[in-house]
Amino acid sequence: MADDKKFAGYICTGCGIGDRLDASTLEQVATRDGKMQSCKQSEMLCGAEGVQMIKDDIANDSVTHVMIAACSRRAKVEAFNFTDVALTRANLREGVIWVRPDTDENTETTQEMADDYIRMACAELKAMNKPAPSGEQELNKNILVVGGGITGMTAALEAAAAGYPVHLVEKSGALGGAVGGYYKVIPTRSPYAEPAENPVPAMIETIEANDKITVHLHSTIAKTDGAPGRFSVELATESGSSQTLSIGAMVQASGWKPYDANQLPEFAYDKSADVVTNHELEALAVAANGGPIKRPSDGKEVKSVCFIQNAGQCSDKEGHLSYFSGVTDLISIKQAMYFKELNGDCDTTILFDNLRTPGAGGEDFYRAGQQAMVTFSKGIASEVVAGDSLTVKFQDKILNEETEMACDLVVLATGMEPNSGPDPYALLALEEIEDLDERAKKQEEIIAVAPPSILNLEYRQGTDLPHLKNGFTDSHFICFPYETRRTGIYAVGPVRRPMDIQQARDDATGGAMKAIQAAENAGKGRAAHPRSGDLSFPTFRKEGCTQCKRCTVECPFGAINEDEEGYPMYNESRCRRCGTCMGACPVRVISFENYSVNTVNEQIKNCEIPEEWDEKPRILVLACENDAYPALDQAAQAGVEVNPWARVVPIRCLGSVSLSWVTDALNSGYDGIVLMGCRRDDDYQCHFVRGSAMAAERMSKVGDTLESLNLEPERVELYEVAITDIQRAPQLINDMADTVEKIGLSPFKF
Amino acid sequence: MSDLNTSMIEKYRSSFLKEVEANVEEGEWVKMCMQCGVCSGSCPLGKHWDHPPQEIFMMIRANKREEVLGSDSMWMCTSCYNCIARCPRGLPITHIMHGLAVYSKRLGLTPKKQPTAEFSQIFWDNLMKKGRVNELKLGLSMNFKDGFGEGVKNAMANQKLGQNMMKAKRMNPMEAFGGHGVKSPGDLQKIIKKAQEIEESKIQAAK
């Protein structure tokens, strides 16, 4: 194999690189130290001529490995897009000349910085292979939509409209879901003046007439196996029959369930049939069949009704929902207008504290409610007294008095709870408990209250999509709203967060498009976000593996299963290519073709460490390519200075950082190490969700390493850096330089 | 309590808001208040009001009929229009306050001895005589509205003010003998009388 490799270096002297640096020295470094078989210069490498030169060398001289020393790897990606070779970039523009002042006394250190980056890039290239798809891929265009509510139906229709066959699975005997039972819906079009017709019946008709959509009623998912592009989904029907579908990607639209109002004894929900939830009122309005809405207790026409907003939600009381469901104020306005429409001169009061009417037409709809003579009273209900006529006691927040009102019907504006499957990590967390009896006991407790599984995934990391907060399915809120932590399975609608019909339909459309993209990507062996298009995938050296299972447990995306012997089984189309498994592996047997423990180690080793009396420290910066590295690039554009001792190595995710990089760097004489990743934990911004958190956990033990080497703990720092930290990111590096100056150089220089 | 008041109570038993909508000038805006409180915060005299506009609107919705109509508050409005300029919902709050004051007066519910109410009546009566306000007589009527003894005291207290007004030619002592007016006050009085008849018939019809 080694004979087939041909290494070529290219040095760009444009953008001022040639003026600030000695290009012939750079070329010498690339060929002598970096062992490039050829090295060429260009005044504008990203121009048509420069790019053609590289293309010609690849075609005519069978160059397989290309090192480009020019701008940052984030710049000119389209020009330097050579898919058939292994490629690396030495960052001479943003990494060197833009962060160093152009003065005579700095010329020497600036040149050293550039030389080092060339050495490092060449060394990395030597350890890389050209990534290629595994060859296991096939294109499967079938999209599975779980849940036949308005969200699921929208996803099915959108995917079908794009030409993809859809299987729509619904647990109950009819499509329509929660909204199917509504009298009318919140208007989504101007002038937002009155409740709109329920769109569900028309949608059901369209779905039934669509030959691309196969509807499976009374069906649940008994088992899901495989990966995007080759999911094997076993459906079980109520009658006991089953069938297996071959699926490319999935959309989970399992929706929501209403909050259990039995937890609100203060509002007499359990005592009076005339206290109903907003969800139950829809059934009363439908049952009225165009006539006046009647009381459930005695069938008397409702003459006065009171809506209690935020019943059991937006509250820190035990048993209440801590969050606001976003849509319940608009729902109450809509339902109050039912009474104005159906019950003639009915007294309709909405007791609110904070009335929130989000969305384009929200405020207009609120005004429409006021125009229709719905009374909005700012007050907090404390109690409902049951009786022939109900008495609502409340505190009037404007008149500042305790008061009460009588009414025939009370509607509680209760919130939405997600219809999620059990949280897979609830059980996995128990593996930490050493006492087996206690673990079994805790396990029973969790299983007793866990909802039934929705997807029944045959994954090492559990049967369903992981949760974030309050049982809602985790999806990447900041950057990729549909991406869950199981590749190729997209959570949409209120299972993801509380939302109204319009939001859910928009969400479903987005999710359907992402599912199509996932199926197509899987067919080509390409990664989903954020390394979309990446062909590399992790493999492991079986003879070195100790079956420790860290990779299978720590993979944020549940991509790795275990075989019977406990060896990892990779499913590359579930993989997002973050390398968290690589960082987890204590025996360093996991690697990508173009990114491995070795590629980074080579970079670390091939930076020249000056002798101690040179008084030139070296600071290793491992910067996450998603946020920290772009932040440093932008800092360079803004002309923020970075210390000349710093050597920045981009990494895929902080989660991929192998502890050996830190140990080896310290051993080989680096004076300080700065690790930069994204924000972690509940309000994470880590593109790989858990990578940054994993790294923080692993690095918490780095103190022991430092102690054993007799080094100061300040030499290794881990920071959360956002892409906007343009001033802060370089400052953190400069701070480390100050620290090193204070505590002195590392004693490990040879 | 007037007949009109009793019949209005009968008619709008359950909803004072509807009564306000039907009978108070610009009253149909009251329901559009969203209780943000900007009007109350903007009123330069707000701290002298028993109930600032936001509260008045809430009291109307809460059926506090007697408290609203018997209130001193809407009489305190000086028509500075701050509230109208600032109301995010565009309510004509100043006009509603005057509308409420007029309605309460019509029903005979205005607090006795409410100074603004008394002044308004004296001003109107003065104006109607000749179609122009007679400043001297207006001043005297205000001073002596509570009887002769109080009047002398008030006149003494306002002596300096009166002298200054005369010096600045804002008040003419000769006005005491008849005073200026429009060309034919009789015609003006006829116009006003007709307008009042129309209004009265509307009020009776609204019973």
pLDDT-derived band at A1 (thresholds 50, 70, 90) equals: very low
Structure tokens at A411: 């509607």
Alpha-carbon gap: A369 to the closest alpha carbon of chain B (Å): 9
Alpha-carbon gap: B8 to the closest alpha carbon of chain A (Å): 18
Total domains in chain A come to: 5
Mean pLDDT of B98-103: 95
Whether residue B98 is contained in a domain is answered as: yes
Pair A325, A458 in one domain: no
- Quick one: which H or E segment has residue A741? helix A728-743
Whether residue B161 is contained in a domain is answered as: yes
* CB–CB contact A375 B34 (8 Å): no
* CB–CB contact B35 A375 (8 Å): no
Pair B174, B95 in one domain: no
- CA A54/CA A700 separation, integer angstroms: 44
What is the length of chain A?
750
- CA A179/CA A408 separation, integer angstroms: 26
* CB–CB contact B17 A375 (8 Å): yes
Question: B59 to chain A: nearest residue by CA?
Answer: A399
Question: A403 to chain B: nearest residue by CA?
Answer: B62
Pair A411, A492 in one domain: no
Flag whether pLDDT at B176 surpasses 90: no
Q: Collect all residues with Cβ–Cβ distance below 8 Å to A570 and sequence separation of at least 6.
A: A537, A538, A539, A540, A559, A560
pLDDT at B172: 87
Alpha-carbon gap: A404 to the closest alpha carbon of chain B (Å): 10
User: Which among B18, B61, B71 is the top mutation candidate for probing chain A, defined by the most A β-carbons within 10 Å of its own β-carbon?
Assistant: B61
* CB–CB contact A367 B55 (8 Å): no
* CB–CB contact A347 B15 (8 Å): yes
Ranges assigned E (strand) in A461-563: 489-491, 539-540, 560-562
Whether residue B205 is contained in a domain is answered as: no
* CB–CB contact A377 B54 (8 Å): no
Pair B131, B92 in one domain: no
Please write the tens of the pLDDT for every residue from A286-330.
Answer: 999 999 999 999 999 999 999 999 999 999 999 999 999 999 999
Whether residue B165 is contained in a domain is answered as: yes
- CA A620/CA A601 separation, integer angstroms: 12
User: A220 near A201, Cβ under 8 Å?
Assistant: no
Question: Greater confidence, A344 or A750?
Answer: A344
What is the length of chain B?
207
- CA A434/CA A45 separation, integer angstroms: 59
Flag whether pLDDT at A81 surpasses 70: yes
Burial class (CB in 10 A: 0-12, 13-18, 19+), A133: middle
Pair A381, A482 in one domain: no
Whether residue A599 is contained in a domain is answered as: no
Ranges assigned E (strand) in A119-248: 143-146, 166-169, 184-185, 196-197, 213-216, 219-225, 231-237, 242-247
Whether residue A529 is contained in a domain is answered as: no
Alpha-carbon gap: A398 to the closest alpha carbon of chain B (Å): 6
Whether residue B168 is contained in a domain is answered as: yes
Pair A517, A566 in one domain: no
Flag whether pLDDT at A2 surpasses 50: no
Total domains in chain B come to: 2
Query: Which of A663, A665, A677, A671 has the alpha carbon at shortest distance from A619?
Result: A671
Query: Amino acid letter at A9?
Result: G
Structure tokens at A677: 């990743």
Flag whether pLDDT at A681 surpasses 90: no
Pair A296, A321 in one domain: yes
What percentage of chain A reaches a pLDDT higher than 90?
A: 83
pLDDT, chain B, mean = 91
Of the residues B111, B136, B160, the one at which a domain ends: B111
Asked if B54 reaches chain A (Cβ–Cβ under 8 Å), the answer is yes
* CB–CB contact A398 B54 (8 Å): yes
Mean pLDDT of B85-92: 95
Flag whether pLDDT at A701 surpasses 90: no
Please write the tens of the pLDDT for every residue from B66-78.
Answer: 999 999 999 999 9
- CA A581/CA A691 separation, integer angstroms: 9
Whether residue A405 is contained in a domain is answered as: yes
| Helix A597-605 with A107-126: angle, nearest 10 deg | 150
Flag whether pLDDT at A447 surpasses 70: yes
For the ranges A327-341, A493-507, B13-27, which has the lowest average pLDDT? B13-27
Whether residue B38 is contained in a domain is answered as: yes
**What is the number of CB-based contacts under 8 A between chain A and chain B?**
37
Contacts of B61 in chain A (CB under 8 A): 375-377
Pair A289, A345 in one domain: yes
Asked if B61 reaches chain A (Cβ–Cβ under 8 Å), the answer is yes
Whether residue B204 is contained in a domain is answered as: no
Mean pLDDT of A606-622: 92
* CB–CB contact A375 B14 (8 Å): no
Chain A residues within 8 A (CB-CB) of chain B?
A: 347, 355, 366-367, 370-371, 373, 375-378, 396, 398-399, 403
A696-to-A250, A530, A622, A681 alpha-carbon distances in Å: 32, 21, 13, 10
Please write the tens of the pLDDT for every residue from A355-377.
Answer: 999 988 899 999 999 999 999 99
* CB–CB contact B58 A355 (8 Å): no
CATH of the domain at B49: 1.10.1060.10
Pair A733, A750 in one domain: yes
User: Which among A399, A404, A405, A408 is the top mutation candidate for probing chain B, defined by the most B β-carbons within 10 Å of its own β-carbon?
Assistant: A399
* CB–CB contact A398 B14 (8 Å): no
* CB–CB contact A399 B55 (8 Å): yes
Whether residue B203 is contained in a domain is answered as: no
Going edge to edge, which strands form the sheet with A401-407?
A: A275-277, A409-412, A304-308, A347-352, A375-385, A390-396, A401-407
User: A135 near A527, Cβ under 8 Å?
Assistant: no
Pair A242, A175 in one domain: yes
Whether residue A566 is contained in a domain is answered as: yes
Pair B121, B103 in one domain: no
Mean pLDDT of A726-742: 95
Pair A308, A398 in one domain: yes
- Domain span at residue A284 reads 264-418
Pair B98, B13 in one domain: yes
> From the list A367, A373, A398, which residue is nearest B35 (CB)?
A398
Pair B158, B188 in one domain: yes
pLDDT-derived band at A72 (thresholds 50, 70, 90) equals: very high
Alpha-carbon gap: B2 to the closest alpha carbon of chain A (Å): 28
Pair A269, A408 in one domain: yes
pLDDT at A75: 93
* CB–CB contact A373 B31 (8 Å): yes
User: A17 near A73, Cβ under 8 Å?
Assistant: no
Whether residue A714 is contained in a domain is answered as: yes
Pair B32, B82 in one domain: yes
Of the residues B111, B135, B168, the one at which a domain ends: B111
3-state SS of chain B is CCHHHHHHHHHCCCCHHHHHHHHCCCHHHHHHCCCCCHHHHHCCCHHHCCCCHHHHHHHHHCCCHHHHHCCCHHHHCCCCCHHHHHCCCCCCHHHHHHHHHHHHHHCCCCCCCCHHHHHHHHHHHHHHHHCCCCHHHHHHHHHCCCCHHHHHHHHHHCHHHHHHHHHCCCCCHHHHCCCCCCCCHHHHHHHHHHHHHHHHHHHHHCC
Structure tokens at A628: 């920290």
Flag whether pLDDT at B193 surpasses 90: yes
- Partners of residue A351 on adjacent β-strands: A308, A377
Question: A368 to chain B: nearest residue by CA?
Answer: B32
Query: Which of A210, A192, A212 has the alpha carbon at shortest distance from A202?
Result: A210
User: A606 near A618, Cβ under 8 Å?
Assistant: no
Asked if B62 reaches chain A (Cβ–Cβ under 8 Å), the answer is yes
Contacts of B55 in chain A (CB under 8 A): 398-399
Alpha-carbon gap: A379 to the closest alpha carbon of chain B (Å): 11
From the centroid of its chain, how far is CA A620?
28
Contacts of A396 in chain B (CB under 8 A): 58, 62
What percentage of chain A reaches a pLDDT higher than 70?
A: 99
CATH of the domain at A377: 3.50.50.60
Alpha-carbon gap: A408 to the closest alpha carbon of chain B (Å): 15
* CB–CB contact A370 B31 (8 Å): yes
pLDDT at A136: 73
pLDDT at B54: 94
* CB–CB contact A347 B14 (8 Å): yes
User: Which among B58, B59, B73 is the top mutation candidate for probing chain A, defined by the most A β-carbons within 10 Å of its own β-carbon?
Assistant: B58
Whether residue A400 is contained in a domain is answered as: yes
User: B17 near B31, Cβ under 8 Å?
Assistant: yes
- Domain span at residue B30 reads 3-111
Of the residues B111, B144, B167, the one at which a domain ends: B111
| Helix B148-157 with B159-167: angle, nearest 10 deg | 60
Alpha-carbon gap: B57 to the closest alpha carbon of chain A (Å): 10
For the ranges A124-138, A157-171, A397-411, which has the lowest average pLDDT? A124-138
pLDDT at A3: 57
User: Which among B14, B17, B19, B31 is the top mutation candidate for probing chain A, defined by the most A β-carbons within 10 Å of its own β-carbon?
Assistant: B31
- CA A431/CA A428 separation, integer angstroms: 6
Please write the tens of the pLDDT for every residue from A529-557.
Answer: 888 888 888 999 999 999 999 999 999 99
pLDDT-derived band at B5 (thresholds 50, 70, 90) equals: confident
Q: Collect all residues with Cβ–Cβ distance below 8 Å to A298 and sequence separation of at least 6.
A: none
Contacts of B64 in chain A (CB under 8 A): 399
pLDDT, chain A, mean = 93
- CA A314/CA A426 separation, integer angstroms: 25
Flag whether pLDDT at A613 surpasses 90: no
Mean pLDDT of B120-128: 94
Whether residue A444 is contained in a domain is answered as: no
Flag whether pLDDT at A474 surpasses 70: yes
